[in-house]
């Protein structure tokens, strides 16, 4: 009989990858799983809440939907704070990082950076959104208050990273540096089950994902690359197919499954692009590399960048290795 592995079982099983681990990372991943379930439940009800709000006594809607990302932020912060596995957290929704000050938190060795609800422009229109998370060991001494330096570490220091995608089904995808695995949520049972073991970008890709509405603002190399991807060449599967949702998690997930290239380049109006290094690009870059792909800022590896600011932005190109190498070549040769 086929054995269905739950996320909880898988996390415990894979704790063995870290022979000296005391189980704190496993506990932290379980807390993220729990918060993800809560956020998933609220997101699923969002449209319904609107209908009920209109016919019911209070019109809770409009508001609560516009506040979906605040809700997700609150759920993740309170769940992670309650369970004491991290000493601090930084989020897209908060200007500064939060230091958890109780003794139990100060003794914790992990910090989390996250985008609680990514793809906000899609919330009101029922299109896939996601949660992105990134986990590091603190560098400040255990027992002290967490510092900004704990959060400003290069992506290559990540201990774990992942996302939840709230799509036709809800899937949690994560890595601890030993491959990428995806778990689909069964709402009837309330558990995530291993559905996508050892995820890898397929050998070849023929999808590209970029907001082409910004074409006029893009650097010459990116413009030429886009035109090249649209040319006819049977040997290289061109023209590629364009797919862009405006939710990084959705575009990334599809490209990892089907093979493709995601681009959010800099433009004349956005000199460093739009996406944030610490809680959007780094976790996706870690997953990308673990799935056999590449993630670049156009010149070099995303995971090597030394961050200066919590909310700094960076041009982002990720996907199948060959496609990313080709994009870097276009940029280099068309300055």
User: Is 110 labelled as part of a ligand binding site?
Assistant: no
User: Is 264 labelled as part of a ligand binding site?
Assistant: yes
User: Is 118 labelled as part of a ligand binding site?
Assistant: yes
Task: Give the tokens for residue 202.
Answer: 């397929």
Separation between Cα atoms, residue 225 and residue 115, nearest integer Å: 29
Q: Which is nearer to ligand AHM, 85 or 118 (CB)?
A: 118
User: Is 280 labelled as part of a ligand binding site?
Assistant: yes
Minimum CB separation of residue 251 from Mg ion in Å reads 12
For the chain, how far is it from start to end, CA to CA, in angstroms?
58
Please name the residues in contact with 68: beta carbons below 8 A apart, sequence gap of 6 or more.
42, 43, 46, 117, 120, 123
Minimum CB separation of residue 287 from ligand AHM in Å reads 15
Minimum CB separation of residue 244 from ligand AHM in Å reads 7
Separation between Cα atoms, residue 184 and residue 40, nearest integer Å: 12
121 binding partner (options Mg ion, ligand AHM, none; Cβ < 5 to 8 Å by kind): ligand AHM
- Classify the C-alpha dihedral 62-64-65-70 as positive or negative: positive
User: Is 272 labelled as part of a ligand binding site?
Assistant: no
Span 3-42, contacts to Mg ion by CB under 5 A: none
Residues facing 89 on adjacent strands: 98, 112
User: Is 121 labelled as part of a ligand binding site?
Assistant: yes
- 247 touches 264 (CB < 8 A): no
Reduced to 3 states (helix: H, G, I; strand: E, B; else coil), residue 149 is: helix
Q: What is the dihedral of CA 148, 152, 153, 158, to 10 degrees?
A: 90
Span 100-119, contacts to Mg ion by CB under 5 A: 115, 118
Minimum CB separation of residue 280 from Mg ion in Å reads 5
Q: Which is nearer to ligand AHM, 97 or 279 (CB)?
A: 279
Minimum CB separation of residue 94 from ligand AHM in Å reads 13
Separation between Cα atoms, residue 25 and residue 8, nearest integer Å: 12
Q: Which residue is nearest to Mg ion (CB)?
A: 118
User: Is 120 labelled as part of a ligand binding site?
Assistant: yes
Contact flags string 122-161 toward Mg ion, x per CB under 5 A: ----------------------------------------
**Chain positions contacting ligand AHM, by CB under 6 A:** 92, 115, 118-121, 211, 246-248, 264, 274
Output the CA angle 276-277-283, nearest 5 degrees: 110
- 111 touches 86 (CB < 8 A): yes
Separation between Cα atoms, residue 160 and residue 48, nearest integer Å: 34
Minimum CB separation of residue 297 from ligand AHM in Å reads 15
Separation between Cα atoms, residue 43 and residue 218, nearest integer Å: 34
The footprint of Mg ion (CB under 5 A) covers 115, 118
Q: Which residues are documented as binding site for substrate?
A: 118-121, 211, 244, 262-264, 274
Q: Which residues are documented as binding site?
A: 92, 115, 117-121, 211, 244, 262-264, 274, 280
């Amino acid at each position: 009989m086929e054995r269905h592995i739950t996320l909880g079982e898988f996390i415990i099983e894979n704790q063995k990858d870290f022979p000296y681990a005391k189980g704190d990372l496993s506990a932290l991943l379980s807390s993220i799983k729990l918060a993800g379930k809560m956020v998933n439940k609220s997101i699923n009800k969002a449209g319904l809440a609107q209908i009920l709000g209109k016919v019911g006594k209070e019109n809770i809607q409009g508001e609560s939907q516009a506040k979906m990302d605040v809700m997700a932020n609150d759920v993740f912060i309170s769940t992670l704070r309650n369970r004491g596995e991290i000493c601090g957290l930084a989020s897209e929704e908060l200007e500064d990082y939060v230091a958890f000050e109780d003794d139990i938190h100060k003794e914790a060795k992990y910090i989390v950076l996250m985008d609680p609800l990514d793809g906000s422009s899609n919330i009101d229109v029922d299109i896939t959104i996601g949660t992105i998370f990134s986990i590091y060991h603190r560098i400040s001494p255990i027992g002290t208050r967490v510092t900004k330096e704990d959060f400003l570490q290069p992506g290559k220091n990540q201990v774990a990273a992942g996302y939840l995608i709230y799509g036709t089904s809800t899937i949690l995808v994560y890595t601890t540096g030993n491959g990428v695995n995806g778990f689909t949520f069964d709402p009837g049972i309330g558990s995530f089950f291993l559905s996508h073991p050892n995820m890898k970008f397929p050998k070849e890709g023929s999808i590209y994902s970029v907001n082409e509405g910004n074409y006029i603002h893009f650097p010459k190399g990116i413009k030429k690359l886009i035109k090249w991807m649209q040319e006819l060449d049977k040997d290289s599967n061109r023209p590629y197919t364009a797919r862009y949702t405006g939710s990084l998690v959705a575009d990334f997930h599809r490209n990892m499954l089907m093979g493709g290239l995601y681009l959010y380049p800099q433009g004349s109006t956005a000199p460093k692009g739009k996406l944030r290094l610490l809680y959007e690009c780094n976790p996706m870059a870690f997953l990308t590399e673990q799935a056999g792909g590449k993630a670049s800022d156009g010149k070099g590896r995303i995971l090597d960048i030394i961050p200066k600011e919590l909310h700094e932005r960076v041009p982002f190109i990720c996907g199948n290795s060959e496609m990313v190498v080709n994009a870097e070549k276009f940029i280099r040769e068309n300055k």
